[in-house]
Structure 1
Amino acid sequence: MQTYFYATGDFDRSAEHREDQTWLRARLSDPNSRVYPVWRLRHLVQPQKIQPADMPQLRLIDPVAQADLIARAETVILLGVEGGIAHFALDLSVLDENAAMELGDFQELRGIGPLLPQRDGALLAYARGLAYWHQRHRYCGVCGAPTEVKAAGHQRQCTDRNCATVQFPRTDPAVIMRVTCGNRILMARQGMWAPGMHSVLAGFVEPGESLEDAVAREVFEEVGLRVHNIRYFGSQPWPFPASLMLGFTAEASNEAFDLQDGEIESARWMSRMELLNSPEDETFRLPRADSISRRLIEDWVKL
C-alpha cells in the first residue's frame, strides 16, 4: 500500500485515552511527550545545522519546562501514541505576533511539508486540520451558544445545557481524477495557480452523490467530456484547509473538450514524452511533489 504525504498511516491515535483525564495530565507532564505547537495554522521549525542547509526540522515544546504555554493554549489536542510516547498539538494562536516570534519561526505547512520526513509532515497535517476545525466551531451551529473542547480535542460540545449538542471534526471529500484518452492525458490549470502549473481535474463531492458520480459530473462541468471506466486510485488528506482528496482514473471517449464553467483557464492533451520533458518553468510545470495529483500523473507516465 502506498503512503501518501500527510497520511498518518498506522500511527496509533489512541482514542481510548481521550476521556482519561488522569492519563492526559500525566502525559502532559512527561518530558518525553512530544508537543507540536501551532500558531495561526503555522508550525514551529528551525533550520538544520547539516546539509542541506535549507532543510527544516520540527521544533517541539518541552511540556515540563514550558508548562505555562500549555496552560495558555486555546486547545490541547491528543494526536496519539507512538512507541509509548504521547504526541500532542498545542494551539497557541492566542499569542500575539511578538510572543510567537519569541518562540521561533512559524511556517506554513504548504511550504515545508514536502521537505519534512513523511511522518512529521503527516502529524503536522493532522494537527493543522484539527486546529482549523476548532477555530471555526467555537459556537454551536444549533443554538449559537459557545462550545467547549471535549475528548482531548476531538469533540466540541455546546455549553448551553438545554442544547448540549456535540460536534465532531469534519473533512470535506473531494474527487481528483486523471482523465486519459488513448495515450494522452488531460492537463489543466486554474488562473489562481502559480505561473505554468498544470494538474489533473478535481472538485468537491456534493450531497447525494457517489464518488463515481462526482467524478463524471466534475469532468463534464469543467471540460465538457463524458468519461467511463472510472476506477479508484487512492486517497490523501489535504489540510488546505480541510479536504480529503479521493483519487480516481477515468477514460474519455474522445479529445474534444470544451471549457465549461470558467474555473479552468486552459487545458491540453499531453503525451508521456511531453510530461517527461516538462520544462518546470512559467510555461509549464507539474503539480507539487507532495500531492496525489502528482502521484496520479507519475503513475500514468510509468505505465
Structure 2
Amino acid sequence: MASPRTVPNFLAGPYLERLSQLRKDEMQLRAALENPATLFVPVWRTQSFVAHLDQGFAAQFVTGLTHFGTTETQEVILLGEFRGQLCFAIELPPAQTPGFDPSAEFVDLRGVAGDLVRDEAGVLAYARAMVLWRERHRFCGRCGSPTVSAEGGHVRRCGNEQCGNQQFPRIDPAVIVLVTDGERALLGRQAAWPPGRYSTIAGFVEPGESLEDAVAREVREETGVEIDAVDYHSSQPWPFPSSLMLGFTAHASRTEIRRMDDELEDVRWLTRAQIAAGEVALPTTHSISFRLIEDWYDAGSATPLRQEPHARLWTSPVRPTPPR
C-alpha cells in the first residue's frame, strides 16, 4: 500500500497533461478550438459549472466554442489534455446570465470541491485560478496600458510596444503547520468562523523569508509558542484565490500559549482523546489541514481518525439545491 505521503492532496496530482509545448503553437490552438470534441471549462463570476448527482457533484464541461460567441484563441486559456481531449478555460461576461444545460449550475467551488471526483476538482480549480489571474492582470503594472493574451492564455503582454512588459501567472505561497509536543496538537480559530471550528496554524510567506522561517514566525506571532524542528509534509494548490499551501509539521520547544496579535480568537492544545470526543470541529477532509491532523492522530492511535464516531468536522457551506 502506498505511503500516506505519496498520495497527492486533493486538488493536486496528475489530473491532466498540461502540454505547455502547445501554448506557442497558434495553428494547433486554432485547430483545437474548431474541434467539436474539445472541452471548455466555463467560469462565471469566479464560479464553476457543475451538475448534481445522487451522490455529490460532477464537473459540467461544454463542447463547441460557438456556445461562447467567440473563435479567438486570445479569449481562452489552454489547460491541457483531460481524459483524452484538449481542454480550455474560458471566462464568461459577469453581466451575462449563462444559458447552458438547465440541469447544471454555477456554484462556488470551495463549497462543493470535496464532493467532486478528484481529477474533475483539480481541473475546475486550475481553470478558476487561471481566470482569476487573467482578470486581475488586464492592465500593465509598469505603464498601465491594456494587456493582451498570448501563449495559450499563460502570458499577458503589454499592448504598448514601447513598454513590452510581460506578466505570468503567479501564486501566493503560504505555510500551514501542525505543531505538536508529541501528545498534543496546537489548533486555533478565527473569530469569523462558526463556533467550534478549529484548524492548524497558517500564514503567507513574506519577501526575503524562507519557508522554515515563515513557519516559526507565524507560529510565534499567532500563538506565542516556540518551535525547534520543522519538517516538510506535502503541498496543496488552493485557488481561493491563488494560494499554494505548503504543509509542515513542527515540534514545540516552549508550549505556553501567548497570543501576540488578533489573527486568532482562541488557541489551544488538544489531545487525541479530546479530538476523538469532538471537543472541536476539524477542517474538511479534502483540506491539507485535515491531512496534517489526521497523519499525526493516526500515528498514535489504534483507531484511525476517520473511524472515530464522535470526531467532528467543519460543516460545509450551504450548497446549491438540485434543480426540480
Q: Same fold (TM over 0.5)?
A: yes
CA distance in 2, matches of 1:195, 1:72: 49
Contact 2:33–2:71 under 8 Å retained in 1: no
Aligned length: 293
CA distance in 1, matches of 2:264, 2:119: 33
Deviation at 1:67, TM superposition (A): 4.5
**For residue 294 of structure 1, what is the aligned residue in structure 2?**
290
**For residue 63 of structure 2, what is the aligned residue in structure 1?**
62
CA distance in 1, matches of 2:57, 2:70: 24
**For residue 5 of structure 1, what is the aligned residue in structure 2?**
10
Contact 1:8–1:123 under 8 Å retained in 2: no
Contact 1:70–1:90 under 8 Å retained in 2: no
**For residue 317 of structure 2, what is the aligned residue in structure 1?**
none
**For residue 107 of structure 2, what is the aligned residue in structure 1?**
107
1:148-198 CA distance string (max 9 Å, x none)? 111111110000000010100000000000000130001110112233210
**For residue 228 of structure 2, what is the aligned residue in structure 1?**
228
Alignment of 1:140-151 (within 5 A): 140-151=140-151
C-alpha spacing 1:10/1:110, structure 2 compared with 1 (3 Å):
closer
Alignment of 1:54-93 (within 5 A): 55-63=56-64, 66-71=66-71, 75-82=75-82, 84-92=84-92
**For residue 47 of structure 1, what is the aligned residue in structure 2?**
52
Deviation at 1:113, TM superposition (A): 0.3
SS state at 2:249 partner:
strand
SS state at 2:148 partner:
strand
2:26 to 21, 24, 30: 21
**For residue 218 of structure 2, what is the aligned residue in structure 1?**
218
CA distance in 1, matches of 2:169, 2:283: 28
Q: Does 1:203 align with 2:203?
A: yes
**For residue 267 of structure 1, what is the aligned residue in structure 2?**
267
Code of the residue aligned with 2:10 in structure 1: it is: F
Contact 2:15–2:122 under 8 Å retained in 1: no
**For residue 98 of structure 1, what is the aligned residue in structure 2?**
97
SS state at 1:253 partner:
strand
CA distance in 1, matches of 2:13, 2:132: 18
Point out where structure 2 has 5 or more consecutive residues left out of the alignment.
1-5, 300-324
**For residue 133 of structure 1, what is the aligned residue in structure 2?**
133
TM-score with structure 2 length normalisation?
Answer: 0.86
Alignment RMSD:
1.9
CA distance in 1, matches of 2:134, 2:233: 31
C-alpha spacing 1:73/1:82, structure 2 compared with 1 (3 Å):
closer
Code of the residue aligned with 1:290 in structure 2: it is: H
**For residue 30 of structure 1, what is the aligned residue in structure 2?**
35
Code of the residue aligned with 2:285 in structure 1: it is: A
Runs of 4+ in 1 over 2 A off after TM superposition: 8-11, 66-75, 95-104
CA distance in 1, matches of 2:235, 2:94: 35
**For residue 154 of structure 1, what is the aligned residue in structure 2?**
154
